[in-house]
Chain A
């Protein structure tokens, strides 16, 4: 995305090229132009631009793409951690629930 760049080398996005059939769906659904097509195979043109929304993995008809998608805000993650430990903040976690 023009003018914005997040941390390098953190995303969980993986593309298994041998499985790819080159349908181009990932190029259509990615809001950050992470993928590109070369011949009949997709490749990761800009992996660090990935925001892990999961659209590519969900729309890949041959499941050649994997990514750990999910809530990405600090309070959402804190609430997740608290819930994992069966804790709850009073009144917390109302952002986009």
Chain B
């Protein structure tokens, strides 16, 4: 069985940083199995986590100065919450991993400590029935584990409360940007070419930067300003973020000199682009429901498509007027 420490090295931190930017993210994992952190005794607690290395590192770092067992599940490099949603951080894998590691011979107790966010994949009563280990859902954040362990394995209300702070939103943005690069290049490039060919190269560049700003407003500004943007719908929040960008760009890029068709198309199409990207951030958010997102999409997608089509017609009509 591997013995590990709670110290994170430069490589661990660099790996986490790269994963945040989508570099080697899908391969950022550790082998599943049972690990001994420090010098654990058979009576020491067993903590369960995912094999996404960032999750595993967060857990072992939070347990600095302690001895315990770490049971790492095969989640194929996905974090606990997403893996629980997919079922890979699940009852079956937990029961299999307990058996494969011979945990019942290593420890003298029959208790597994799981992250609360793992509960979406694990049925505690079935785990107890199938392998004899009882499941305790401890905390949401790994950082609260020391307090939980010192608190006699009792979860306080604060340990159970989910948050979505500015920093928690900020660290999610880089990978969203990287994932959007391809569509930015294709759509932005197409806008640049078409406008440059039909109008002037300068107009093409203006169109490109207007589009780029709308995308960034949806991916960066929307999520960062999330609690302060009006409305509950992410599409509306994104629209407002897009309108903020439009107002700024209009003032800076000589908007008052544009004709009516261009101005209308600009204020119609760009907020729709921002709205789409902020709506997509529901996948990263910690409080949106699938039914809510479905409802938003049924209304927002046709509106966005309509705005884009009307904008295109206006631009073409404005050109040939």
Contacts and interface: CB of A to CB of B under 8 A. Distances in A.
Given A1-B163, A3-B227, A58-B121, A96 B82 contact: yes
Contacts of B264: none
B13 interface: no
A54 B84 CA distance: 10
Given A1-B162, A7-B296, A10-B292, A73 B283 contact: yes
Interface residues of B, number: 47
A12 B291 contact: yes
Interface in A29-76: 29, 31-33, 49-55, 58-59, 61, 68-76
B293 interface: yes
Interface of A: 1-8, 10-12, 25, 28-29, 31-33, 49-55, 58-59, 61, 68-78, 91, 94-96
B287 A1 contact: yes
Given A1-B163, A10-B295, A74-B279, A58 B290 contact: no
Interface in B173-217: 179, 182
Contacts of B155: 28
Interface string B275-318: 01001111110111111111111000000000000000000000
Interface of B: 78, 81-82, 84-85, 116-117, 119-125, 137, 140, 155, 160-164, 179, 182, 226-227, 232-233, 276, 279-284, 286-297
Residue of A2, A10, A72 contacting most chain B CB atoms (<10 Å): A72
14 contacts: A4-B226, A6-B232, A6-B292, A10-B292, A28-B116, A29-B119, A29-B137, A33-B161, A58-B119, A59-B125, A70-B290, A71-B290, A77-B290, A77-B297
A54 B289 CA distance: 10
Contacts of A33: 160-161
Contacts of B284: 73
Contacts of B182: 91
B297 A10 contact: no
Nearest to B135: A59
A2 B286 CA distance: 12
A94 B182 CA distance: 12
Contacts of B179: 94-95
A31 B155 CA distance: 12
Given A1-B161, A51-B287, A96-B82, A11 B125 contact: no
A49 B280 CA distance: 20
A25 B124 CA distance: 9
Contacts of A74: 276, 279-280, 282-283, 293, 297
A55 B89 CA distance: 12
Contacts of A12: 291
B95 to A, nearest CB: 14
B164 A1 contact: yes
Contacts of B85: 53-54, 69-71
Nearest to A72: B290
A65 to B, nearest CB: 12
A10 B293 CA distance: 9
Given A51-B286, A51-B287, A59-B125, A4 B164 contact: yes
B26 to A, nearest CB: 9
Contact of A7 (B117, B161, B295): B295
A96 B162 contact: no
Given A59-B124, A59-B125, A77-B297, A72 B119 contact: no
